[in-house]
Amino acid sequence: MKQSIILLFSLLFCSGLAKADAAMDANFNKYKEAFVLELWKAYPSWASSVGYHKYDNALIVPDDNSRKSELAFCGKQLLALHKFQLNGLSDLNKIDYHLIENQLNSAIWAVNELKAYEWDPSGYNVSGGFADMLSNNYAPLDTRLRSFAARLAKVPAYYEAAKKNIKNPTQEHTQLAIEQNLGGVSVFEKDLETALKDSKLTAAEKAKITDDAKKCVAAINSYADFLKKLDNKTPRSFRLGKALYEKKFDFDIQSGLGAEGVYTAALEHKKLLHEHMLMLTKQLWPKYFEGRPIPQNPLVAIKQMIDSISVTHVKPEEFQSNIELQIPFLTEFIKRNNLIYIDPSKPLVVRREPEYMAGVAGASINAPGPYDKNGNTYYNVGSLDGWDADKAESYLREYNHYILQILNIHEAIPGHYTQLVYANQSPSIIKSILGNNAMIEGWAVYTERMMLENGYDADRGLDSKEASMEMWLMYDKWNLRSTCNTILDYMVHTRDMSKEDAMKLLVDEAFQQSAEAEGKWRRVSVTQVQLCCYFSGYSEIYALREECKAKQGAKFNLKKFHEQFLSYGSAPVKYIKEMMMK
């Protein structure tokens, strides 16, 4: 009797809960839509940058009032969010809930604790948004120019507020702010002039824009002057310090391990990579250095081996065609080995890098934004046309025969492009706006290793079951880069690593050219946490796969694992793990 009452009660309870779930999910979907519209009102420049152009004419003046209203926005949205019970939501909505909550808490923390608006003068720069309005053809030119004009009128007030905010800035960000702000001036001179000539605006409208553009340039110059003359005797260090760094890491990466955990994993991984590289170097040595003794110092031996393998590369004029040829080969290899389903109805459009991106070479994925769903996904491939011989040679040694294959895996198939196709199948505006970069980059880095583990090696053909030692050695070097980026970032910002030690890490232990290492030092001194997203995402995905393997034993299926993993969209790995391990 007693038992049956309990049973009846729980039956009632369960069915009641199930009904509430569907309703709550529907309500939550409505809330998300409303949230995004409010978000764009609060952050108009962000809205423009993702292709939502309703607020193109707005520019937030970064003063106390705007910070107060940002905090009010975040507080109000958190209250609305917390009305939903996390447990009652579907898996995909649970992740969206976490992403929204993280965004709002992160914004509050940035205003109240991080306070970059005081110490990072490079946070103030208007030219990017204006440049986009001129060059990006999302609306008729005259419409874009009228929004341009309305936004332009607020620029002087913007820079006046910026000057009032700056307190004891770092020298590195001050320098960067001067360079970048002055670098953007041409948008309001040459670029605007050309656009005005092509437009059908009235003479009066054109005169007003030209006049406001002059005031805008004066405001930028005055800001740069202000920064140059700043009497800053005790500048703040560019190093973020442990407490702020760990918090920023939690918000930006959303890793299950935390900053210190990821750093420790990177140290351990570096050791394993070095061991693996030495083993390969010893085996390859006679093939490349017949009769010559191997250097005593393992790092020196590995470096010599890498250098001699790097001379195998395509001719400059074959750079583009070689990349294009690899795409169908990658797709076929994945099919034969049952690694992941690739939707044939959404082919990747390979194209020569458009003019405005020229000069960077390499290759990159250009995906349509959340408001341009039907747009093509392009694979932009750079060209080495017009490069002088030395520059081309050094570039091609870096992107040699082996690395070029790994680059294609990372950028295209089954890396970024494949992940994107899957993400679009569970469409969520929240995930496309607030998607987790560590998961996105981590997936691309994970697929590099996964492909090699399954024998991918273009030299050995489609039936290859084992990648060559050269391929593995170059992969190790490539992987060492993201591993050491994480170590560098953590050590520089939380443990005062000196520039000298940083160079030793990058040049001696990660085998980078000194020019590349110098560039990395500049980057770590003006960014924080960003350099960690590749390794942290990669190591979490890899660990999750190994955990699933161990748990499922003989039942584990790699293809199924990949497809399920990607079905949650661009979500933090720790939440995907939660769903997959249920």
Q: 392 or 471: whose CB is closer to Zn ion?
A: 392
Instruction: Pick the closer one to Zn ion by CB: 99 or 420.
Output: 420
363 contributes a contact to Zn ion by CB under 5 A: no
Listed ranges 364-372, 443-451, 485-493, 507-515: which one lies at the site for Zn ion (CB under 5 A)? 443-451
CB of 570 to Zn ion, least distance (A): 13
Looking at residue 428, its amino acid is: S
The beta-strand segments (E) located in 454-519 are none
Q: How far is the CB of 315 from Zn ion (least distance, A)?
A: 9
Which residues lie closer than 8 Å to 458 by C-beta, 6 or more apart? 326, 329, 405
For the bound state, the minimum distance from the C-beta of residue 410 to Zn ion, rounded and expressed in Å, comes to 6
- Given the DSSP bridges, would you call strands 363-366 and 378-381 parallel, antiparallel or unpaired? antiparallel
* Closer residue to Zn ion in complex, CB, 93/486: 486
Nearer to Zn ion, 144 or 520 (CB): 520
Query: DSSP 3-state assignment of 414?
Result: coil
Place of tokens 């044939």: 344
Closest by Cα among 375, 558, 571, 337 to 461: 337
Return the number of the residue (151 or 313) whose C-beta is nearest Zn ion.
313
Rounded distance between C-alpha atoms, residue 245 and residue 579, angstroms = 28
- The CA dihedral of 142, 148, 153, 155, to the nearest 10 degrees, is -160
CB of 319 to Zn ion, least distance (A): 12
Number of CB atoms found within 10 A of residue 214's CB: 12
Kindly state the number of chain residues that form the binding site for Zn ion, as judged by CB under 5 A.
Answer: 2
Among 580, 571, 567, 570, smallest CA distance to 426 is for 567
- Residue number with CB closer to Zn ion (94 or 416): 416
3-state secondary structure of 54: coil
Minimum CB distance to Zn ion, residue 396 (Å): 6
Among 116, 444, 491, 524, binds Zn ion (CB under 5 A): 444
Residue number, 55 or 478, with CB nearest to Zn ion: 478
Q: How far is the CB of 393 from Zn ion (least distance, A)?
A: 5
Alpha helices for 63-200 (secondary structure H): 64-82, 91-109, 116-119, 127-135, 141-152, 155-165, 171-183, 190-198
Structure tokens at 231: 């009497």
Helix then strand count (H, E) for the chain reads: 26, 3
CA dist., res. 388 & res. 511, Å (int): 24
CB of 311 to Zn ion, least distance (A): 5
For the CB of residue 317, give the shortest distance to Zn ion in the complex, in Å.
Answer: 13
Give the Cα separation of 469 and 306 in Å (integer): 11
Cα separation, 147 vs 129, in Å, equals 11
Report d(CA 461, CA 325) in Å as an integer. 13
Question: Could you tell me the smallest distance in angstroms from the CB atom of residue 354 to Zn ion?
Answer: 19
**CA-based radius of gyration for the chain:** 26
In the complex, the smallest distance separating the C-beta of residue 60 from Zn ion, rounded to whole angstroms, is: 30
Residues in Cβ contact with 582 at an 8 Å cutoff, skipping those fewer than 6 apart: none
Q: Which one of 120-128, 250-258, 278-286, 444-452 is the stretch in contact with Zn ion (CB under 5 A)?
A: 444-452
Instruction: Give the count of beta carbons closer than 10 Å to the beta carbon of residue 498.
Output: 10
397 or 460, CB closer to Zn ion?
397
313 Cβ contact list (under 8 Å, min separation 6): 396, 397, 399, 400, 401, 404
Nearer to Zn ion, 273 or 444 (CB): 444
Name the residue nearer to Zn ion (CB basis): 124 or 446: 446
Residues 271 to 310 in contact with Zn ion, rule: CB under 5 A: none
Closest CB to Zn ion among residues 96, 540: 540
What is the 8-class DSSP label of residue 509? I
Nearest position to Zn ion, beta carbon: 444
CB of 443 to Zn ion, least distance (A): 9
Contact characters 423-442, Zn ion, x per CB under 5 A: ------------------x-
Which residues of the chain form contacts with Zn ion (CB under 5 A)? Answer: 441, 444
